[in-house]
Amino acid sequence: MILNEKFTLYNGVEIPKLGLGTWLIDDSIVSDAVKQAVSLGYRHIDTAQAYENESGVGKGIRECGISREEIFITSKVQAEYKSYETAIKSIDETLRKTGLEYIDMMLIHCPQPWAEYNKSDNRYFLENRQVWKALEEAYSAGKVRAVGVSNFLKEDIENLMETAVINPMVNQIECHISGTPIELIEYCQNTGIIVEAYSPIAHGRLLNNEYVKSLAEKYNVTISQLCIRYAIQLGTVALPKTTNPDHMRNNAETDFKISSEDMEILKKI
C-alpha cells in the first residue's frame, strides 16, 4: 500500500512517498483535514509559513491520536525572508505556531521572493546562503530533522552547495503530467536529493485532458490516481491537496503500475 512506502533521505530519515498538501486550506478547517488524513493512514503532512495554517496543522497533529514520531511534517521558510536573522526567527515561530517540539523537514520556500518569482534575474544567491545557514543551525540544534529547498533550479542548488556544510536533502517542485522538468529531476536524483512533486494533478487541469482520461480508463483508475502514480513512478514524493476524505482515500489507492511505454508518452505531454 502506497501509504506505507517511504523514501530514505541521505541522512537516514524516512519520508513517506505520499503526503497531504495543505496549500489554500484555511487555518480554521485544516486541523480536521489533517485528522481525517491520519485516520485514513496518511503519515506525511505538508504546510508552509506562507499558507498561514501552521497552527491548524499543528493542532491536527497533536489531536490525531497517533504518536508524534509516526508523522512526518514539512514546513517552509517564507520566500520573502532572505537573511539569517529573519530565517532563524521564522523557524522558531513555526515551532511556536504548530506547538511541536520539532519539525521533520524545513525548506526554503523559493529562491526568490514571490513578487519576483520567474520575473527577475536576481536569484538571491548570497541571501539564500544566509537562510541555508539558519536551516543548518536549526538542524544541528535538533529543531528540524531534515532540510531542503523548494522551487529551486539547478543553479540555485549549486550555489548553496558551494558553501553548505549540509547539502539539501529535498527539492519540492511543481511536477505533473504536462509539466515534468525531467532534467531538474534527474540532476537532483543524481545528486542525492529527493524530489517532491506538488500539484501532481496540475491544479485540477488534467481532469479535462482527454488523452489522460483515456489512459486512466485503460488502467481502470481515476485521473487523479493516474497522476499520483505517475509522480511516484518518477521517483518523487507526491503531495496532492484535498479536504475531502473520499478524495484522500481515492488518492491513496494507487497500487498499480503504469507501463514504461505509457510513462514515456506521459513525460512528453
Residues serving a catalytic function are 51
Other Cβ atoms less than 10 A from the Cβ of 142: the count is 9
Residue with cell 529535498: 170
- Rg over alpha carbons for the chain, rounded to the nearest Å, is 18
**Rounded Cα gap, residues 232 and 226, in angstroms:** 10
**Rounded Cα gap, residues 168 and 22, in angstroms:** 23
Instruction: Provide the 3-class DSSP secondary structure of residue 122.
Output: coil
Amino acid at position 69, single letter: E
Q: Are 75 and 47 in contact (CB under 8 A)?
A: yes
Residue with cell 482520461: 213
Which helix (H) or strand (E) covers residue 195, if one does?
strand 194-198
Which helix (H) or strand (E) covers residue 233, if one does?
helix 223-233
- Who's near 250: CB < 8 A, 6+ residues apart? 222, 224, 225
Q: Are 248 and 242 in contact (CB under 8 A)?
A: yes
- Who's near 10: CB < 8 A, 6+ residues apart? 167, 169, 192
Q: Regarding beta strands 103-108 and 237-239, do their DSSP bridges make them parallel or antiparallel, or are they unpaired?
A: unpaired
Sign of CA dihedral 87, 157, 189, 12: negative
